[in-house]
Amino acid sequence: MKRLFVLLMLGLAALSATAGAPAILVFGDSISAGHGLAHVDDGWVGLLRAKLKAEGYGYQVVNASVSGETTAGGLARLPRALELHHPQIVIIELGGNDGLRALPIDQMRANLTKMVDLSMGIGARVLLLGMRVPSNYGPEYTEKFNSTFADVAHAEKAALVPFLLADVALSPDLMQADGIHPNERGQPQMLATVWPVLKPLLRK
């Protein structure tokens, strides 16, 4: 009985330590939600969680990504997520579904800007993960879409990964059959793309 009590107390202490750890909030769509993967923890966000632990960073990673999310949907959800988790770092990976639906880019830019502002307003550091749309959307739309993430990051002084799928999208062996979502083999490559930009934002 005494041993059971000690184990219970240790478990509660570990849970409390995790709950009290500073949070990294990942706010994305299906790319970050692990769509199509056998195990969500195999996604780049799960791999990030493991890497932070292995390298001694005391962060908890909250994955608030939702498949199909647009920047408008993300903007509507973000205030509650910020209030709930009080993140020190916010990683925004949204915009891909705006592009797939050919939604107005000016509105996407406004939504991303507002999300960055809300996050910085609570003192969080922000990392924006850029996406791309194929050229068949027309040169004007494609160029405006692809430049929006850099424009927002520059204007808001946020950190930027220009294209999350830079080393994945053109490699069929790293993509699922839909040609949109990276498979299990592509997830470590996405983390490798994010890590050099995220690392300077971290505190040990």
Element (H or E) spanning 23, and its range? Answer: strand 23-28
Tokens found for residue 40: 């969500």
Q: Is residue 132 part of a domain?
A: yes
pLDDT at residue 126, as a whole number:
98
Q: Is residue 152 part of a domain?
A: yes
From the list 32, 98, 119, 181, the catalytic residue is 181
CATH label of the domain that carries residue 28: 3.40.50.1110
Are 63 and 32 in contact by the 8 Å Cβ rule? The answer is yes
What mean pLDDT is predicted for residues 147-174? 97
Measured distance CA(12)–CA(5) in Å, rounded? 11
Q: At 122, is the pLDDT very low, low, confident or very high (cuts 50, 70, 90)? A: very high
Does pLDDT of 155 surpass 60? yes
What mean pLDDT is predicted for residues 194-200? 98
Q: Is residue 10 part of a domain?
A: no
Tokens found for residue 78: 């973000």
DSSP for 35-57 reads: TT-SSGGGSHHHHHHHHHHHTT-
Q: Is residue 9 part of a domain?
A: no
Q: Look-up: residue for tokens 């690392």?
A: 199
Q: What is the pLDDT of residues 81-104, one digit of tens each?
A: 999 999 999 999 999 999 999 999
- Domain range holding 35? 22-201
Instruction: Indicate the pTM of the whole model.
Output: 0.90
Q: Is residue 184 part of a domain?
A: yes
Active site residue 173: no
- Virtual CA dihedral for 75, 39, 171, 25, nearest 10 degrees? 30
Q: What is the pLDDT of residues 58-72, one digit of tens each?
A: 999 999 999 999 999
Q: Is residue 194 part of a domain?
A: yes
Q: Minimum mean pLDDT among 64-68, 110-114, 200-204: which range?
A: 200-204
From the list 16, 29, 30, 35, the catalytic residue is 30
Q: What is the pLDDT of residues 4-43, one digit of tens each?
A: 343 333 343 333 334 579 999 999 999 999 999 999 899 9
pLDDT at residue 136, as a whole number:
86
Q: Is residue 93 part of a domain?
A: yes
In a 3-state reduction of DSSP, which class is residue 183?
A: coil
Number of domains the chain contains: 1
Active site residue 178: yes
Active site residue 30: yes
Half-sphere exposure of 150 (CA within 13 A, CB side): 8
Q: Is residue 52 part of a domain?
A: yes
Q: At 56, is the pLDDT very low, low, confident or very high (cuts 50, 70, 90)? A: very high
Contacts 24+ apart (CB under 8 A), 145-152: 145/95, 145/98, 145/99, 145/105, 145/108, 148/95, 148/105, 148/108, 148/109, 148/112, 149/95, 149/112, 151/109, 152/109, 152/112, 152/113, 152/116, 152/128
Does pLDDT of 137 surpass 90? no
